[in-house]
Amino acid sequence: MKFDYVLCIIDFYPLSDYKIMNPDKYETGSGGFVWENLMPDEVFSHTQFHVYAAFSMQMGEEWAGSEFINHYNRLYYVRSGEGVLQFKDKKITLKAGHMYLIPAYQLVSHYCIGKIDFTWVHFQARIDAGLDLFMLYGEALSLDCNLLPHIENDFLALVELCKSDSPRSTFSRTKLLLSLLDPAMEAFEKSNEGLHSFRHQSLLPALTMINENVVNAPDVKEMAEAANFTPEHFSRKFKAAFNISPKRYILQKRIALAKQKLLLANVNVEQIAEQCGFCDIFYFSRVFKQEIGLSPSAFRKEYLLANK
């Protein structure tokens, strides 16, 4: 196995914490020249993009994961070899010269056929605290990049840029990420629904409720009422959209929060369990190990050892 990677972790502040100045619709300049400004889009103008990590890897059959969920989006670019992404009701074959977009919170398995040489990026396209743009599209996307020669170079450049935390590197990472996402946005725009027709818009009220208070999240009945569904219909629609139940989605949000606190907060595991909405440390430890494969203490220890 050969790989080259760097992991970047960053905290975010709610969009509401920032003062956003919107321009007037019409403005005047010298000589009486009048023009009409392009006004900010409700979603796309306010989306915050961030690259978490970029990896360049050569893997064999050890590259295999069964029914796991990530709280970030992923982009894969395959240079050679072949692999498979298996969703609940859909299978995508990973092919050389193709790029793949996997939205956050999709239940997916993956494996390699022989060997695979690929580069991948973890990123967020945040609309609001905890809510991601590509969750609303809700479907993995495959793109043939053989006519887009810049794609491979952009992926490799992202790997290099993740080795620096300078302001310019952050700017350049975002620029490259947007360049990689541009063909995906073009594909969404050409679809029957178009860019502004999100597949899961009816679930937005429930997602917002969860993301605003992950620790004391609403129950299914409250979320269903917010979305104007019965609890049974809401649960079915939510699972069809994101391949996980509302309860497991909330659990994954809490696990993601716990991982951040284990890595960044200087508090004991029992306090973290309480801060992340778990009823007791024993339940927290059991669920965390089921989802991550390590106990909370072992997860923290492994990360600290890997970064000494």
Check whether residue 205 and residue 185 sit in a common domain. Answer: no
Classify residue 10: in a domain, yes or no.
Answer: yes
pTM: 0.68
Contacts of 136 (CB under 8 A, 6+ apart): 127, 198, 199, 200, 201, 204
Angle among Cα 272, 274, 276 to the nearest 5 degrees reads 70
264: pLDDT strictly greater than 70: yes
Contacts of 243 (CB under 8 A, 6+ apart): 87, 88, 105, 106, 107, 108
Residues 48-71: b if buried by 16+ CB within 10 A, e if exposed: ebbbbbbbbbbbeeebeeeeebbb
Check whether residue 52 and residue 146 sit in a common domain. Answer: yes
Specify whether the backbone of 277 is left (phi greater than 0), alpha (psi in -120 to 50) or beta: left
SS3 content of the chain, % helix, strand, coil (to 5): 40, 25, 30
Instruction: With cut-offs at 50, 70 and 90, classify the pLDDT of residue 73.
Output: very high
- Among 252, 291, 256, CA closest to 272: 256
How confident is the model at residue 272, as a pLDDT? 94
Classify residue 245: in a domain, yes or no.
Answer: yes
C-alpha to C-alpha distances, 17 to 12, 129, 257, 260, nearest whole angstrom = 10, 11, 20, 21
How confident is the model at residue 6, as a pLDDT? 40
pLDDT in tens, 4-32: 434 443 333 344 444 445 568 888 887 77
C-alpha to C-alpha distances, 232 to 59, 136, 221, 225, 289, nearest whole angstrom = 42, 21, 9, 11, 29
Instruction: With cut-offs at 50, 70 and 90, classify the pLDDT of residue 197.
Output: low
pLDDT in tens, 74-84: 999 999 999 99
How confident is the model at residue 45, as a pLDDT? 82
Classify residue 39: in a domain, yes or no.
Answer: no
The CATH number that applies at residue 274 is 1.10.10.60
HSE-CB for 182 with a 13 A CA cutoff:
12
Classify residue 84: in a domain, yes or no.
Answer: yes
Of 264 and 219, the one with more pLDDT: 219
Stretch among 104-108, 225-229, 301-305 having the lowest mean pLDDT: 301-305
192: pLDDT strictly greater than 80: no
Of 307 and 264, the one with more pLDDT: 264
Give the rounded percent of residues in the chain with a pLDDT score beyond 70.
86
Average confidence score pLDDT of the chain: 84
How confident is the model at residue 40, as a pLDDT? 79
Instruction: With cut-offs at 50, 70 and 90, classify the pLDDT of residue 130.
Output: low
Check whether residue 165 and residue 260 sit in a common domain. Answer: no
User: What's the structural domain count of the chain?
Assistant: 2
- What is the extent of the structural domain holding 93? 2-17+44-190
Classify residue 162: in a domain, yes or no.
Answer: yes
Classify residue 34: in a domain, yes or no.
Answer: no
